[in-house]
Structure 1
């Protein structure tokens, strides 16, 4: 069909040296004008025709006006319904349709064709004229016949919503610079056949668009947590830290608790706070050097290194229980032990990975979240070194204002909660915990007595929620996340 329309267009332009109006041409071949316009645009793009816009305008009747076209305007219908002796107001809608009665009565009163007589008590409509000329109907008939109407009449009819404007375009067509009776499709590539036959000399080729960007590759989208995690990694590596391997989600209670000098009766080790595995429920500690295991047992039961210990009977079976790690400090304990065995060298480690806690889920807590942890291991470190490193780290995060509050942790002493002033939220907020690992944790590993370890940790979700204006953690991580948020979230630039 499209090829037929195109052929007729080109033939008519050639025979008549142009087409004066595409609308008339479409009517002449009994075709929809939109189909013709499609071919015109295609020919114009090929420079085969020159196109000139022709703007058209007319008034058209509304659905309401079509009812008045033959029956007369509402005001005349109401006037004709009033007998010479008048009509009670209450009876008008019995004579004329309710919609026509309301509009017609109002218009007839404005025209002073009718009046109200209240002398007999009940309102009565009385004629003031015997007959009128229905100019409104005549106006509608003129519009229906596509005749010109005056601007005041048009505005009045439009105000009454009896007519509406209609606008459309048609086109004047002339021969273009590449006009031909038949369109030749430009070739997109040079073929062996063209070279062999020599047709390439007369063949038209499609222009290359060297500015085209090409089709966007199909790909995924980065989650806000992953963007913020990348920024954390950059900050740590810029400060000279190395990332710890954190691929073990399942840990033994020994590395998660006991090696950290956390007693076996501590509430965090209860089932209502920790996810313990049922299969396999335990991991043998036979692979751990027995002398180290004995030193951990002794420091728990009897103390040492300046500590009185906890004074309870340490059970190997409790230390063998498998669990989903409750913090990435379990990884830190492994790294520090390995550091002690290979000959101590100062080190800086960090990790950003997932941890699990058996907590009630609400707008600020999840049972599965991410922990950011950093530690520095060196000789002669003090609390002042920890505070200095924290100022440097959080300044790079864009949180330069810090306060510290004494706190308690089983495996750090002294311990501090970290608070920072958020310019965005205009308030102080807790952003993490910190401290110095206790000798009861470090000395059994074999680290020298003059070696100290400063460490700190915070969640990944809280700064992400602040950066992206998310007030419910379930909208950031979990099955309720809106995928459109993942696709449209902006880039993350911490500290700027």
Structure 2
């Protein structure tokens, strides 16, 4: 059957008819946006009318925080303008003038302006560097790698890898282009054409309805496949799946895990805080008093942190930073032993995105509440879990977490490369006793995306979310 082309496909063929290799991003056609052009290119490729080469490219785009600074000024940019007017200024005075004072001071020091006897002094060299930073933020595609790296670390820019298509018309494309008359061929009939009988003077382009016309069935996304495999392992081991909320009170997310209120993890640089005028009704509001008592005075013979607990801090809303909060709430509401529970859900961290970090990712959470729960059973479980996934060579090394003691990190070795996949440990009594639990609890939080890197032999965690259709159709497990 004849492989017809649409008007959009005709426009693309007409654009590249001189036969030169052309990047898809350079194609500009009136009344066609990038999505329409990409769709037309994909159809032309599947029909065999163009030749295609793919080239891995990096694209940099500005984050919401970066957009805010472009509009209102970078903190160091505001500071340098003040310095230029005054020549010097006391740190305490500058602090009153700039909201992001710490960020400004840190970056001024990077550009050569450091405090001297409590004063900051202006210099032209720093001003030029700050101008360069702003220029890079405005035009990241034309920025040098050193400045790009700095802006990525500050989470002002994000990097995205994609396969750019380089296309060229072939003989079949030239033939169909010459045969296609855009004044006669149409893609669809309209009501007016039926009413005024103008449909008699046009030709509807042919559509190939053959089931063997290159159509492919749908399949699971690689991350979904891996998630389902992990879920089946937990179910085989007798675990129950639990679920939680994206937005949590800090009382659940941190206080009930015995994380002190001045812990660095609560800093705006690490945690996304949510603001709302809606008056949420808190689940189990009594936990604030429970957490307050443990933080200030401890429980039984275990000392607390010994500071003044701020109840208002407990009522702040955050995007959950871990799924351990699921475990805490579940055990608070299900105190009968034994409990074997797990979840595989999304968490959020204010991370600088790079090859092994994402700002939102999935955590494999699990816990066992039982009189037999111990460090030995935790070690056995970690080895058994990873053995079922195909990893026989793992290390469990000592680590530190505020809510577990002892604690371990899980290190997996693949092709001679060691990668940390997550943490585990035994909940401290300051966590379990306030929940009303009589027996020990071991818990673990493991990164799903990092595990996927090993599964699919990727070099960058961001590639898991790449929309490269060829990879999504042909991915294989590589253990």
Q: Normalising by structure 1, report the TM-score.
A: 0.51
What residue number does 1:456 align with? 444
Map residues 267-416 of structure 1 onto 2, 5 A cutoff: 267-280=264-277, 283=280, 285=282, 287-288=283-284, 290=286, 292-340=287-335, 344-416=336-408
Rg larger in structure: 1
State whether residues 296 and 306 of structure 2, in contact with CA within 8 Å, keep that contact through their aligned partners in structure 1.
Answer: yes
Give the whole-Å Cα distance in 2 for the aligned partners of 1:399 and 1:384: 19
Deviation string 1:358-384 (CA, Å, 9 cap, x unpaired) is: 011112111011111111110142211
Give the whole-Å Cα distance in 2 for the aligned partners of 1:481 and 1:300: 46
Map residues 250-269 of structure 1 onto 2, 5 A cutoff: 250-269=247-266
Shift of the 347–483 alpha-carbon distance from structure 1 to 2, 3 Å rule, reads: same
What residue number does 2:471 align with? 485
Deviation string 1:441-491 (CA, Å, 9 cap, x unpaired) is: 11111112xx011111211111211121211122212xx53233223323x
Give the whole-Å Cα distance in 1 for the aligned partners of 2:344 and 2:312: 30
Give the whole-Å Cα distance in 1 for the aligned partners of 2:215 and 2:294: 59
Query: Are 2:420 and 1:430 equivalent residues in the alignment?
Result: yes
Question: How far apart are 1:288 and its partner, in Å?
Answer: 1.7
What residue number does 1:443 align with? 433
Give the whole-Å Cα distance in 2 for the aligned partners of 1:428 and 1:379: 33
State whether residues 288 and 314 of structure 2, in contact with CA within 8 Å, keep that contact through their aligned partners in structure 1.
Answer: no
What residue number does 1:26 align with? none
Gaps of 5+ in 1: 1-211
Give the whole-Å Cα distance in 2 for the aligned partners of 1:306 and 1:469: 49
Give the whole-Å Cα distance in 1 for the aligned partners of 2:215 and 2:330: 41
Question: How far apart are 1:346 and its partner, in Å?
Answer: 0.4
Give the secondary structure class of the aligned counterpart of 2:329.
Answer: helix
Shift of the 218–469 alpha-carbon distance from structure 1 to 2, 3 Å rule, reads: closer
Give the whole-Å Cα distance in 2 for the aligned partners of 1:283 and 1:316: 16
Give the secondary structure class of the aligned counterpart of 2:219.
Answer: coil
Question: How far apart are 1:215 and its partner, in Å?
Answer: 8.5
Shift of the 481–438 alpha-carbon distance from structure 1 to 2, 3 Å rule, reads: same
Give the whole-Å Cα distance in 1 for the aligned partners of 2:296 and 2:356: 37
Give the whole-Å Cα distance in 1 for the aligned partners of 2:280 and 2:250: 9
Give the whole-Å Cα distance in 1 for the aligned partners of 2:215 and 2:467: 24
What residue number does 1:230 align with? 228
State whether residues 280 and 322 of structure 1, in contact with CA within 8 Å, keep that contact through their aligned partners in structure 2.
Answer: no
Give the whole-Å Cα distance in 2 for the aligned partners of 1:405 and 1:300: 28
Give the secondary structure class of the aligned counterpart of 1:395.
Answer: helix
Give the whole-Å Cα distance in 1 for the aligned partners of 2:254 and 2:279: 14
Between the two proteins, the alignment pairs up a number of residues equal to 270
Shift of the 487–458 alpha-carbon distance from structure 1 to 2, 3 Å rule, reads: same
Give the whole-Å Cα distance in 1 for the aligned partners of 2:449 and 2:362: 7
Question: How far apart are 1:314 and its partner, in Å?
Answer: 0.9
Give the whole-Å Cα distance in 1 for the aligned partners of 2:213 and 2:247: 44
State whether residues 405 and 427 of structure 2, in contact with CA within 8 Å, keep that contact through their aligned partners in structure 1.
Answer: yes
Give the whole-Å Cα distance in 1 for the aligned partners of 2:254 and 2:218: 38
Map residues 182-261 of structure 1 onto 2, 5 A cutoff: 220-246=218-244, 248-261=245-258
State whether residues 284 and 320 of structure 1, in contact with CA within 8 Å, keep that contact through their aligned partners in structure 2.
Answer: no
Q: Normalising by structure 2, report the TM-score.
A: 0.53
